[in-house]
Amino acid sequence: MAQKRRQFTREFKVEAVRLATSGEKKLEHVARDVGIRPDMLRAWKRQSEGRAGLSEGDVFPGNGNLTSKDEEIRALRRELDVVKQERDFLKKAAAYFAKESR
């Protein structure tokens, strides 16, 4: 039977990140002390650093739903990746045909 996925409150995440960034203990020790995996705490730390200057409530929006700005940024980054791949392909094709015409 599948285990139910654990959910953590915003306050728990903020406190865990604060403990990890205080420098008193290593991140791995903090993660073990609060009962989570170190990679999860690293992800929370990156997420909070990426939103520097925001209030605690804005750092971890919750429920896995992205804000409209975050969703737009994600869509634009995906579109940019596709455009870059197309550009690189066209550069290679142009170089191939330029070499062939000589």
Question: Exposure of 13 by Cβ count < 10 A (0-12 exposed, 13-18 middle, 19+ buried)?
Answer: buried
pLDDT tens per residue across span 57-75: 566 665 566 678 878 888 9
Q: How far apart are CA 42 and CA 76, in angstroms?
A: 25
Spatial separation of the C-alpha atoms in residues 66 and 74, rounded to whole Å: 10
Q: What is the pLDDT of residue 85?
A: 96
Look at residue 54 and tell me whether its pLDDT is greater than 60. no
Cβ–Cβ under 8 Å, residues 17 and 48: yes
